[in-house]
Amino acid sequence: MAVPYTFGTSTAAIPLSNLDSNFATTITLGNTAIQLGNTVTTLNNMTLVNSTVSSLANGTSNVSIATSGGAITVSTNGTQAMLVNTVQGVQVTNTLGVGATTPATSGAGISFPATQSGSSDANTLDDYEEGTWTPTVTFSSGSATVASAAAYIKIGKTCFVNGYISFSSVSAATAASITNFPFTAVSLSGTPRQVFVAREDAATGKMGQFFISAGTTTAGLQDYLGANGVTVIADGYKWVFSGTYNTST
Amino acid sequence: MSSTKTTTVDQITVAENGIVLYREATCVMEDNNELSKTYHRNSLTPGQDLAGIPNNVVAICHIAWTDKVIAAYQAALAAQQQSE
């Protein structure tokens, strides 16, 4: 047997007698020469076929990469975490974190960065966030007691909002502005505002409209004919609304 | 096993026209593991009253809201309201 011996051409077990007495004979894996006692951490130009790479700790395989039937399986602690298959693509068992995000530990899904990492590519989804916000009302004149609550879901540059605003103790209140929207509405030439549908859900059942101004987090409130003031602000009125608007980021 | 619930302002953004958006994150932690996190968002328009707003957000507003920024925002808003 030639020394150094290249394992890549071996067709049979190699007897220890072929190694020299002090185990200094090198063997070659890929194009990396190693010998017993070496602590080589990188092997170059190797091809593994139907192979499993595993790490054992306390008798349990806590990391393994295995190939089978054209697929690669990545497992931790004996449980499959990811499957890569040229036909089906990539399958993850729980949650996929993008942008170096630590995946959420509950449920299964995609975890985005807590702070958006905006993409300029038109085909890339770069943000997801859900939460709450509190609509705040300011009046041109007069006053009223306001109760409100709302929620949002932002997907990319689209923000879904829904919530309610109710009025009591109304005193000559006139045109109202709804502020504190969770994201700034996009500024788009020729489109000064975006509109949500609203319904007065406690006293009259009348329809209304919220319209958020471009580049702002402020909306107006009118009934379906464009009237405001006492038409939309009265004791006991509760406006429920839902809609979608495009955001600036 | 101990759990804690904390609310912090974890994000403050200033838009080009001076609107300040901030996010409050409420985290429930148990033994240094995050059990849940919820968000509540707010936005502030240039020149608005800052009573009750967290101090770090107020500090940003004071920097961002120059007289020029406030005047420009109010002029833009007035122009939009005229077209309603």
Q: Where does A87-186 show beta strands of DSSP type E?
A: 89-92, 95-97, 109-111, 128-133, 136-139, 143-155, 158-171, 176-179
Whether B11 has a pLDDT exceeding 60, the answer reads yes
Tell me what pLDDT residue A17 has. Answer: 57
Of B9, B11, B36, nearest to B24 by C-alpha is B9
Query: How far apart are the CA of A151 and the nearest CA of chain B, in angstroms?
Result: 9
Element (H or E) spanning B60, and its range?
helix B55-64
Tell me what pLDDT residue A216 has. Answer: 94
Tell me what pLDDT residue A190 has. Answer: 83
Integer Cα distance of B69 and B65 in angstroms: 6
Tell me what pLDDT residue A88 has. Answer: 81
Encode pLDDT of B39-61 as tens digits: 999 999 999 999 999 999 999 99
Residue B16: HSE in the Cβ half-sphere, 13 Å Cα cutoff: 8
Integer Cα distance of A241 and A198 in angstroms: 4
Structure tokens given for B30: 């148990």
Mean pLDDT on B16-36: 93
Tell me what pLDDT residue A4 has. Answer: 54
Query: How far apart are the CA of B40 and the nearest CA of chain A, in angstroms?
Result: 5
Nearest to B10 among A114, A184, A214 (CB): A114
Of A244, A217, A216, A220, nearest to A232 by C-alpha is A220
Whether B7 has a pLDDT exceeding 80, the answer reads yes
Integer Cα distance of A223 and A204 in angstroms: 12
DSSP letter (8 states) at residue B82: H
| A64 or B15, higher pLDDT | B15
Query: How far apart are the CA of A237 and the nearest CA of chain B, in angstroms?
Result: 23
Of B54, B8, B59, nearest to B34 by C-alpha is B8
Mean pLDDT on A88-107: 92
CA distances, A77 to each of A51, A55, B16, B30, B79 (Å): 18, 10, 49, 24, 63
CB count within 10 Å of CB B77 equals: 18
Encode pLDDT of A190-241 as tens digits: 888 999 999 999 999 999 999 999 999 999 999 999 998 889 999 999 999 9
Tell me what pLDDT residue B40 has. Answer: 98
Tell me what pLDDT residue A5 has. Answer: 54
Tell me what pLDDT residue A31 has. Answer: 83
Integer Cα distance of B7 and B48 in angstroms: 23
Whether B73 has a pLDDT exceeding 70, the answer reads yes
> A130 and chain B: CB distance < 8 Å anywhere?
yes
Structure tokens given for A141: 């004149």
User: How large a percentage of chain A has pLDDT more than 90?
Assistant: 57
Confidence of residue A178 (pLDDT cuts 50, 70, 90): very high
Structure tokens given for A72: 């690669």
Whether A1 has a pLDDT exceeding 50, the answer reads no
Integer Cα distance of A72 and A80 in angstroms: 10
Tell me what pLDDT residue A9 has. Answer: 57
Least confident of A33-47, A186-200, B52-66: A33-47
| Closest A-chain CA to B84 | A226
Cut 0.90: pTM above it: no
Confidence of residue A18 (pLDDT cuts 50, 70, 90): low
| Closest B-chain CA to A138 | B48
Integer Cα distance of B45 and A217 in angstroms: 8
CB of A191 closer than 8 Å to CB of A154: no
Top-ranked range on mean pLDDT: pick from A92-106, A170-184, B13-27: B13-27
Interacting residues of A85 by C-beta distance below 8 A, sequence separation 6+: A70, A71, A72, A91
